[in-house]
Amino acid sequence: MSSIDFTIVGIYIVALVIVGLYFQRKASKGINSFFLGNRQIPWWVLGASGMASNLDVAGTMIIVAFIYAIGAKGFYIEIRGGVTLIMAFLMIFMGKWNRRAGVMTLAEWMEFRFGKGKQGNIARFIMAIAMILITIAMITYFAKGAGKFVGEFLGISPDLAAFLMIVIAMIYTVSSGLYGVVYTDLFQGFLIAFTIAYVCIFVFASGRFNIPDTFSVSVPLLDGGFQEIKTTAHSWTN
């Protein structure tokens, strides 16, 4: 990376922190403001945040690997097994229900659903433990993916890169709660959309999008190696 690249990365990181800190006063009004944005964040901001949050580096690398290995049909694996279907069902069938329930966490939702008796308490306890384990797993997954990606470009170890990303995210998350998370996601969402549009237009307009009639791809094996597979442009794009 050249000096201009490092400058762009630095400006991006500083902008994220500034956006997060800007909403610190709003988030400090109470626990409801910190964790739920006082339930007044516009729907389109929440939608953009959901889009940006689920376009993580680790998932993007997996999708690219699928497409590289088995062609365009590899994208359908992500649609089936990723969060696409889950988000669609939440939006259509459960969005209003979840918002009107007045709960703050999934554990509280269990109590709301099953009552405050023995069954509700057991369900709430199980959900609390499950969410702790799931959160640890997801943070590890995101951190490892981001660490490998950022470390490769900055020329530092993946662990150090992951640590730096976690620290940056903690700064605006701890200071401004959901406000910081959502509006930094909105900022990143605009950057993602702009970058996708720019890259697609540049590639297709430049005429560099040419796939040979026959070529080889490599797929990973369980022993850590790779297997070379010959394919055709027709098979790879259909």
- Residue 231 falls inside a structural domain: no
CB neighbour list of residue 131: distance below 8 Å, 6 or more residues apart:
105, 106, 107
- Residue 238 falls inside a structural domain: no
The predicted pLDDT at position 236 comes to 74
Q: Which domain holds residue 145?
A: 3-207
Query: Are 150 and 61 in contact, with CB atoms under 8 Å apart?
Result: no
- Residue 212 falls inside a structural domain: no
Q: How far is CA 106 from CA 82, 112, 208, in A?
A: 20, 10, 48
pLDDT along the chain (238 residues), means of 10: 80 85 83 82 83 75 78 74 69 76 84 88 93 90 84 85 87 86 87 86 76 77 77 76
* Separation of alpha carbons 165 and 199, rounded Å: 25
- Residue 152 falls inside a structural domain: yes
* Separation of alpha carbons 111 and 172, rounded Å: 31
- Residue 234 falls inside a structural domain: no
The predicted pLDDT at position 81 comes to 62
Query: Are 150 and 161 in contact, with CB atoms under 8 Å apart?
Result: yes
Supply the pTM of this predicted model: 0.71
* Separation of alpha carbons 38 and 44, rounded Å: 16
Query: Are 173 and 19 in contact, with CB atoms under 8 Å apart?
Result: no
The predicted pLDDT at position 83 comes to 65
- Residue 19 falls inside a structural domain: yes
- Residue 222 falls inside a structural domain: no
Which of 154, 107, 113 minimizes the C-alpha distance to 126?
107
- Residue 76 falls inside a structural domain: yes
Count of domains forming the chain: 1
The predicted pLDDT at position 80 comes to 66
